[in-house]
Amino acid sequence: MRVGSIKWNFIVAGMIGGFTLLFSLMNNLFWESLLRSLLAFLLFFLLMFLFRYLAGKAVGKEALQHIPSETKGRHVDLITPEDLEYERSQQSGEDESREKQPSRADFSQFTATDFPTITRSNRENINPEEIARALRVFSDE
């Protein structure tokens, strides 16, 4: 009983093999570095099987049932109940079921909200008392 999937083996072994190649190229020839990185990849690929097996034993059978499977969440049902009712009515050929479907809202009287535009007066001499009064009114609200 193992935890996870084989993709973890490839991910971990690939990262270790890549780092081994990168750091080995600094001090060795290319072919020797490539050989060492491939050996590191194979070693850690096999060690991940052992690690996943031991993790599965440590977690236990009961807890593994609560771990989400990889297939969950991959299928999305895009059919709404209205579509199902419509398909059933098409298959049975009944016109009565079409009348039972909820009617669509009537948007013919819809109008967008028309906000008034705020324009600034072109008066250059604004009375400071008016500004103070306006600030007091807006600060109370």
Alpha carbon 25 to its chain centroid, in Å, reads 38
Judged against a pLDDT cut of 60, whether residue 138 lies above it is answered with yes
Q: Which domain holds residue 11?
A: 6-64
Q: Tokens 């593994």: give the residue.
A: 64
Q: Minimum mean pLDDT among 11-15, 102-106, 109-113: which range?
A: 102-106
| Residue-level pLDDT at 13 | 94
Residue 135 lies in a domain: no
Judged against a pLDDT cut of 70, whether residue 63 lies above it is answered with no
Number of domains making up the chain: 1
Task: Please give the Cα distance from 14 to 40 (Å, whole number).
Answer: 9
Residues in the chain: 141
Average pLDDT value over all residues in the chain: 78
Task: Please give the Cα distance from 131 to 37 (Å, whole number).
Answer: 76
| Residue-level pLDDT at 21 | 93
pTM tops 0.85, yes or no: no
Tell me how crowded residue 13 is: count the other CB atoms within 10 A of its CB: 19
